[in-house]
């Protein structure tokens, strides 16, 4: 018998084709889509508005799979981290960061990462492979399983309200699968996370920025971390390939298409590297030069073993934030979360990989 097809990760059109290929009517795709993404059902037997014969047929041809949870950590501040394993044994991390009445799920797009940002623990693990569309979508589905958020709750009652594509990997190095996954996650008949509540963060793969956002309608965050090419290239080698001018021009183009779009610039504060007032002033000048509507997300650094950088001291963080705010930019300092549960991205994976060797 032919290998079964995984249904998670198929677009609506692909799902319809999969059904017509086994002799079913196209309208069944809508029903099945609802079972998969609105009810989160993984067992064909429980899809009760489908006939018994059809349920049997579906189980003969298709699978609905979730990644395996290899490890799970819950912080005292309620941040939750999962280590997830796919069918071939590859693993990624996912994190849930709760706020008062909502929260963001941070998902991964690759196993490892080829960008190699010097401050990033994941960047120290070589790229193994891209995640498939199914593997990206099903991470969020695991989070919903854990929090019991099926069927898809209304916007007001949902606890897992936001998605940030900021976990392991550079999303724009896996663009096709990421675009498809985001369109499934935001489809209004299924998981239905509002596009305005999804943020894709990139290290600045300039040629793909505008296209990826046009095809998904999600929000953009740029991992900036330095205000000039010289410094940025030393901590983010990708800057040699796509220098600041190219990245910021793409940002300007993205905003030119829709005046309401704001861009978040992520800025990790590293002691005596990029945390001077002069750096803050250079950042302000850059935003003005490119006329960008921007806010900053200032991130305290989470040191990890073997990393040469240190976190910026509190007084410098405050002064940096004040300088940006005085120039009219929102510049909140991200509250450090999950300090008791291997907070740096990629740390849990490294630990468990080492244990299973
Ligand atoms: S910060 Fe992001 S892009 Fe840079 S190495 Fe880490 S995972 Fe890759």
Is the C-beta atom of 164 inside 6 A of ligand 1? no
Region 195-200 average pLDDT: 96
Looking from the CA of residue 169, the nearest atom of ligand 1 is: 7
Residues taking part in catalysis: 93, 345
**pLDDT tens for residues 3-37?**
899 999 999 999 999 999 999 999 999 999 999 99
Q: Which residue has 């009517």 as its token pair? A: 25
Q: Is the pLDDT of residue 343 over 60?
A: no
**pLDDT tens for residues 38-51?**
999 999 999 999 99
Cα–Cα distance, 321 to 329 (Å, whole number): 9
Given pLDDT bands bounded at 50, 70 and 90, which one contains residue 123? confident
pLDDT value, residue 357: 62
Given pLDDT bands bounded at 50, 70 and 90, which one contains residue 1? low
Q: Tokens in use for 353?
A: 């990989």
Is the C-beta atom of 112 inside 6 A of ligand 1? no
- For the entire predicted model, the pTM comes to 0.94
Is the C-beta atom of 122 inside 6 A of ligand 1? yes
Lowest-pLDDT range of 117-126, 243-252, 319-328 = 117-126
Which residue, judged by its Cα, is nearest atom 5 of ligand 1? Answer: 123
CB 25 within 8 A of CB 38: no
Cα–Cα distance, 182 to 133 (Å, whole number): 9
Strands of 198-202's sheet in order across: 68-74, 80-85, 91-98, 103-107, 162-165, 198-202, 219-223, 263-269, 294-300
Is the C-beta atom of 104 inside 6 A of ligand 1? no
Ligand 1 center from residue 31 Cα (angstroms): 38
Q: Tokens in use for 144?
A: 């919903």
Mean pLDDT of the chain: 93
Ordered structural domains, the chain, with CATH: 5-63 (1.10.150.530), 68-355 (3.20.20.70)
- What are the C-alpha distances in Å from 225 to residues 13, 269, 298, 328? 40, 7, 9, 19
């Amino acid at each position: 018998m032919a290998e079964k097809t995984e249904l998670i990760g198929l677009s609506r059109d692909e799902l319809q084709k999969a059904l017509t290929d086994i002799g079913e009517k196209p309208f069944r795709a809508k029903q099945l889509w609802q079972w998969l993404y609105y009810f989160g059902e993984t067992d064909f037997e429980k899809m009760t508005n489908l006939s018994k014969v059809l349920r049997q047929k579906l189980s003969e041809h298709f699978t609905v799979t979730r990644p395996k949870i290899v490890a799970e950590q819950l912080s005292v501040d309620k941040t939750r981290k999962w280590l997830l394993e796919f069918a071939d044994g590859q693993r990624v991390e996912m994190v849930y960061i709760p706020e008062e009445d909502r929260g963001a799920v941070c998902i991964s797009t690759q196993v490892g990462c080829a960008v190699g940002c010097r401050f990033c623990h994941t960047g120290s693990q070589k790229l193994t492979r891209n995640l498939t569309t199914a593997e990206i979508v099903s991470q969020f589905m695991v989070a919903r399983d854990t929090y019991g958020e099926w069927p898809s709750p209304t916007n007001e009652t949902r606890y897992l309200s936001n998605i940030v594509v900021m976990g392991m990997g550079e999303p724009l190095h896996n663009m096709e699968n990421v675009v498809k996954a985001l369109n499934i996650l935001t489809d209004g008949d299924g998981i239905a996370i509002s596009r305005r509540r999804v943020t894709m963060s990139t290290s600045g793969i300039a040629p793909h920025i505008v296209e990826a956002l046009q095809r998904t309608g999600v929000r953009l965050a740029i991992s900036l971390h330095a205000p000039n090419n010289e410094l940025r290239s030393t901590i983010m080698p990708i800057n040699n390939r796509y220098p600041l001018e190219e990245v910021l021009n793409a940002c300007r183009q993205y905003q030119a298409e829709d005046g309401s779009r704001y861009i978040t610039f992520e800025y990790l504060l590293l002691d005596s590297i990029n945390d001077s007032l002069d750096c803050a002033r250079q950042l302000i000048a850059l935003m003005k030069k490119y006329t960008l509507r921007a806010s900053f997300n200032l991130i305290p650094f989470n040191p990890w073993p073997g990393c040469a950088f240190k976190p910026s001291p509190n007084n410098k963080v405050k002064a940096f934030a004040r300088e940006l705010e005085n120039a009219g930019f929102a510049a909140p300092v991200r509250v450090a979360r999950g300090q008791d549960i291997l907070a740096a991205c990629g740390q849990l994976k490294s630990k468990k990989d080492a244990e299973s060797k």
